[in-house]
Amino acid sequence: MKFTINHARAIAGNDIYISVVADDGKPIASVRTELDGIQLANDNLSSPSEFYEHAFPRSGSAGPNTLHTLIVTAQLSDGTDHSSTSIWSDPI
């Protein structure tokens, strides 16, 4: 499972981009994305997929030295979960 997570401070909030690539022949069934404890998306894929991506423009709040935690959890078609966490602080 390969996660790609990018974030940048926006005029309001943060611009966030995530992608998930399955491996071992086990496709992705759903992906849940949480920023600072708030769910941004819980996407159940209509048919399991090898690739998932989603952009979240201007998400959450932002401010000098504001700490953020982004958690992306992908559930595979066999029911196993895999997660990736990104933690960052907004610049001054």
- Domain with 77 in it: what CATH number? 2.60.40.10
38: exposed, middle or buried (C-beta count within 10 Å: 0-12, 13-18, 19+)? exposed
d(CA 79, CA 29) in angstroms, rounded, equals 8
Can you give the pLDDT at residue 92?
Answer: 77
Mean pLDDT of all residues in the chain? 94
CB 15 within 8 Å of CB 8: yes
Can you give the pLDDT at residue 45?
Answer: 95
Can you give the pLDDT at residue 70?
Answer: 97
* % pLDDT > 70, the chain: 100
Q: Which domain holds residue 35?
A: 2-89
- Taking residues 21-33, what's their average pLDDT? 93
Query: Residues with Cβ < 8 Å from 11, sequence gap 6 or more?
Result: 58
- Taking residues 12-41, what's their average pLDDT? 95
The number of folded domains in the chain is 1
**Predicted confidence band at 24 (pLDDT cuts at 50, 70, 90)?**
confident
Which tokens sit at 85?
Answer: 């966490």
Tell whether pTM > 0.85. Answer: yes
∠ CA 2-8-55, rounded to 5°: 55
- Taking residues 50-79, what's their average pLDDT? 95
* % pLDDT > 90, the chain: 84
